[in-house]
Amino acid sequence: MAGYLFQPDRALVLLCSCNNNEAVAIEIVDDVAIIDDTGNILYREQDKNSIVDNGRPYADRSKDLWNTLFIWISDIRNGKMDVSRTRLLCVTNKNISENSLIRKISDAHSIREIDLVIELLKSSVERPPASLQSIISHVLSSEETLKAMIAQISLLDANCLVERNDEIANRLGLNDDIRDDVITDLRGWFNDHILVQLDKGFAPIVRKTELNRRLQRTMQSIGDKRIKVLAKRYVDVTITDNDIVEAKGKVFIKQLELIDHYDKEGIIVDAIVDFFYSEDQRTRLTLMGDITGKELLAMDDLCFERWTESFRRKMVHCNINLSESELSELAFEIYDSTVNGFVVKLRGNDTEPYFTKGSFYKLSDSLDIGWHPHWEKHFKN
């Protein structure tokens, strides 16, 4: 099972570094391969995962190593692979010894180094196991082809889950605060995508453009979830007595002074606190990039619509014969029915009552809305 899970994870890593015209294929031409939109094979990978403590993938006389070489050299001879254009990689989760054959193959670049590796291959399999005799013979039968192939082979060992996650994060440029959520989502999507194809009888191929679309949705979803207006107790804002005195000179407070309520002073102080707290959170969310200025304006528009509905309902009871005291009482009713019990959502996320109230106070401060039935006469004339 470990091997079957290892391959899709390696495929996801590779897909993250593909160009937009490329795709990854699993168990078609190799364990994992990269192909372009014309069907050219650009990259092939053999994956060996072991959960055994003393497991030795790609050991010198192992079937892992020689069967890998056999598969690749056979495809070169049969014309299925252009070795000059195809990168070849052996991957394992285990640490590979510096003295191992596969390590020396990977490190061989010059003609002399490649010749030396071929001699080591020959000497390592003197008196080979009967089960590998025909495979080894086939691999060693054409030195020129073998030399060309060795020049293209690389090794990636110790490729554990942490390493793969780092590769995905680096290739997609993910920040630390979102990388785990993004990778978890992409891994689930990728595996589901493969299973759907297998269930339909198709060989699994996943295109980079498909990953791009999923990544965009994932980033949007995670961005939506990150929108969190802090509860009041967690907002780091200090409001002094001087701040309250200065705030009482603002228009939104002047508007509240026109209401009639036994605790009008308490309502005003609460409004000042909510206004400061709301402004702090609007600034924080905007600077963090969690929301945009347009989204805040859209929230303000919802508050304006709420006020319009409440104002119209209450104004049905207004007539020219109301006294100033009665108008002030009606002003409180308009204010109370508008502001209380209404909390705006941001991208489907709950906010806090003070945050929405702050939007109402901004609107009343800019004289877009008012509480007194004749508020425009008081402030616009």
CA dihedral 55, 59, 65, 66 (to 10 degrees): -130
- Give 22-75 pLDDT, tens digit per residue: 999 999 999 999 999 998 999 999 999 988 878 789 999 999 999 999 999 999
Residue 2 clears pLDDT 80, i.e. is over it: no
> What average pLDDT does the segment 105-132 reach?
91
* Other CB atoms within 10 A of residue 380 CB: 8
Tell me which of 24 and 2 has the higher pLDDT: 24
Residue 319, pLDDT score:
67
- Give 262-294 pLDDT, tens digit per residue: 999 999 999 999 999 999 999 988 887 778 889
Q: CA 65 → CA 34, 124, 299, distances in Å?
A: 21, 12, 62
Q: What percent of the chain has pLDDT above 70?
A: 97
Residue 380, pLDDT score:
78
In sign, the C-alpha dihedral spanning 363, 365, 368, 370 is positive
Residue 304, pLDDT score:
96
Closest to 161 (Cα-Cα) out of 93, 90, 211, 91:
93
Q: What percent of the chain has pLDDT above 90?
A: 76
At 177, list the tokens: 């605060």
Residue 228, pLDDT score:
81
Residue 320, pLDDT score:
67
Query: Are the C-beta atoms of residues 197 and 205 closer than 8 Å to each other?
Result: yes
Say what angle helices 2-17 and 208-226 make with each other, to 10 degrees: 90
Closest to 66 (Cα-Cα) out of 128, 157, 3:
128
- Put simply, whether the predicted model's pTM sits higher than 0.85 gets the answer no
Question: How far apart, in whole angstroms, are the C-alpha atoms of residue 65 and residue 136?
Answer: 10
At 321, list the tokens: 């014969």
45 Cβ neighbours under 8 A, 6+ residues apart: 10, 14, 30, 31, 32, 33, 88, 89, 90, 91
- DSSP-assigned beta bridge partners for residue 43: 34, 87
Residue 55, pLDDT score:
79
At 303, list the tokens: 């508050």
Question: How far apart, in whole angstroms, are the C-alpha atoms of residue 360 and residue 374?
Answer: 18
> What average pLDDT does the segment 233-239 reach?
89
- Give 318-368 pLDDT, tens digit per residue: 766 888 999 999 999 999 999 999 999 888 888 999 999 999 999 999 999
Residue 300, pLDDT score:
95
Residue 1, pLDDT score:
46
Residue 291, pLDDT score:
84
